[in-house]
Each structure stands twice: as structure tokens, then as C-alpha cells.
Amino acid sequence: MPVIQQVTSTVKAARLTHPFTTAKHTVTEMDSIYVTIQLENGLIGHGAATPNEVVTGDTLATTQTVIEHVIAPKIQGLDLADWQQLLQQVKTAIEHNTPAKAAIEIALYDLLSQWFKVPLVTLLGAQPQPVITDYTISIGSTTEMIAAAQDKVAAGFTALKIKLGTSPLSEDLHRVQQISTAVGPQVRLRLDANQAWTTKEALVAVAQLTQLGLPIDFIEQPVKAGNLVGLKQVTQASLLPIMADESVHSYADALKLVTTHCCDYINIKLMKSGGLSEAEKIDQLCAANGVGCMLGCMIESQVSLAAAVAFVASHPNVKFADLDAVYMTDEQLKQPYFELHQNKIYLNQQTGL
């Protein structure tokens, strides 16, 4: 196989169609680093990183520096055939910096699937198929959130993720009930507190939500990421499934939570894990231990989302997809990676991404 000749990156911004608010921050713009890796035969692979300092601690500047000056020198001159060595070089080039690693890995997987002349989803072991995603209702007034929820249900979404955590707990729970009443019991709800609750508040929340009997798939990251004792306590007390998000970035994190029974589900994100290979390890661990997964995303580029969609389509233990960022920005690309029809994402059946 040909060797890697060049790694380049560029930064571009895209506007969000609406501000996106969680318990942690508000986002109005998506800043992404677009990576290209060129082989000596001219083949080009594409990847992208969208750092989120609140989640991973990475900034746009540090991520681009790591891509160009730390990881790129480690892989230039290596042969694509030395696949495991390539992945190891990316993983060990520097501690943390997972968005940079994810962007490079996605471009490498794009190259490998192009080399074998198959779509990425086929390289990962499946045939192209549509992926159903939920849509996230960001924090606003109750009236605004109800209107947004009704709008997305009318657009064809059958599951909504509801962001919580900036209001008193009683107000949050009442808001969830009002949203469910407005959209109807056929719409599944996924509640995300983004670490906003104390253990005591989370225990109250799960008890009251259970009594309400709403169509809830899970409650995501109810307590602080490092509060594993509290997370386990909530999981054991709750009749509703509990999902870990910010508590799990790496395989080591997942191993700790799975072996101590701290959660029912784990939310994998490529920007947290550092790419597809670590995501694969996390999913295999979870599958072997009866823990389901969701594949989530930041507000990120279609390039990395295409890799995420391929991962969902090829991993049956991924029970949920939260890949709605593709609906949220005005990102302009030369070539679209998928088609959207209501809540379904259809990958292009081209080679590579």
C-alpha cells in the first residue's frame, strides 16, 4: 500500500440555525478543523474535529497544533498497510487531545475504506442502512421548549432528548411532563441533566419521574462526571435506565463503570473517545457485559458525523443514536455525506466516508 505523504488542516466556522443551550453552556457557532491526509498515490482521506472545551478541555488552537505538529509527524511516511501501527502512533502521540486523534483516525479510516473500494460502514462490517436519530431540545422557557418539541415531532422525529439542569428540579420535572403531554405518549423522551443534579436531587428526580409514568428511555448523566458513587447509587435506586456520558471518555473509564455497575447505558462520542478504534473497544466491552450504548455527538461537522453514522449502522449494541447536529448548522461542504429524511440519516453508498 502507499505511504502517507502529507497531513493538512484548515479551520472553518458554520452558524447554528438556533442557539443550543445546555446546563453547561450556549453555542451559536460550530468551529471545526477539517483534516486531509494524502497518500503518495494521490488518494485523500478526510476527517474533522470539533473541540468542545467544556467536555474534553480542548480548544480549537490546541487541537490544530496537536494535529499538525504532534500527530502528523508521527504518521507521515508510514504505510497504510501498517494499520495497527498507524492507530498506535495516533493514540500514543500525546495524552488526551481526543478531538485531534478522532480527526486523524476518521481520515485514516476514510483512506482505508477507499483503498478497499467499499463504504466505511462495509469496512466496519455491515451494509449501508438508515440510522434513526433523536432530536435534542435545548434549554429555554417551557413555552419555547414545548414549541420546539412539537415542531420536531411534526418534522418526523419519534424520540426527543430534553436538556435539563438550569432550573429548580421541580420546574424541570414539571417541564418534562408538559412537553410529554404536548407531543403525546408515542414520542419517546431521553432526559439529559448534563451533570447538573446532586445525588439527592437525582434520586428525587428518578422517583418522581417513575411515578409520572412518562415514556422515558433513560436519564443521562444526572450527577457530576467524577461522582461515580452517586451515579451508582442513582442507577441502583432507579427503575428508569441511567446513562453515563461525561463520566466516560476512554475504554478505561468504561471499564471502571461497567465493572462496578454504575450505569445501564454508556454514551460514546468520537470526540471523547479519540476516534473509531477506541469507540469499538468501549462498545465491545459494554456488549460483553450487558450494557447498551448510544452513539452521541457534539455540535460537529458532517465529516465526523458520517463516521459516527457508519459506526451505529455496524454495531448492534448501539441501541440509540443522538446524531442530530447535522440538522442544526448551515455547514457547507463540496459533497454531502448523507441524505436526511425526517429522523432518518441515509449514508451515501460511495467508497470511504
Q: Which of 163, 200, 232, 256 is catalytic?
A: 163
Looking at residue 240, what DSSP letter applies? S
CA dihedral of 63, 139, 340, 108, whole degrees rounded to 10: 20
Residue at grid coordinates 500527530: 71
In the residue annotation, 163 being an active-site residue is answered as yes
Contact 219, 240 (CB under 8 A): yes
Indicate the SS3 state at residue 333: coil
Contacts of 252 (CB under 8 A, 6+ apart): none
User: Is 281 among the catalytic positions?
Assistant: no
**Euclidean distance between CA atoms 241 and 68, whole angstroms:** 41
Check the annotation: does 245 bind a ligand.
Answer: yes
CA gap 218, 330 in Å, rounded? 30
Amino acid (one-letter) located at 291: V
Give whole-number Cα distances, 261 to 127, 218, 224, in Å.
33, 16, 17
Three-state DSSP at 336 gives: coil
Give residue for cell 493538512: 8
- Catalytic site residue from 101, 152, 232, 269: 269
What burial letters (b/e) apply to 281-291, b meaning 16+ CB within 10 Å? bbbebbeeeeb
Burial per residue of 123-132, b for 16 or more beta-carbon CB atoms within 10 angstroms, e otherwise: bbebebebbb
Q: For residues 133 and 318, give the distance between their C-alpha atoms in angstroms, rounded to a whole number.
A: 12
Question: Known binder of ligand: residue 68?
Answer: no
Q: Are strands 4-21 and 26-39 parallel, antiparallel or unpaired?
A: antiparallel
220 is annotated as contributing to ligand binding: yes
Give CA–CA dist 113/117, Å, rounded: 6
Instruction: Report the candidate in 73, 5, 81 with the shortest Cα–Cα distance to residue 45.
Output: 5
How far CA 117 is from CA of 2, 121, 129, 277, 321, in Å, comes to 15, 12, 18, 20, 27
Q: Which residues are annotated as a binding site for Mg(2+)?
A: 192, 220, 245
Q: Which residues are annotated as a binding site?
A: 192, 220, 245
Q: Which residues are catalytic?
A: 163, 269
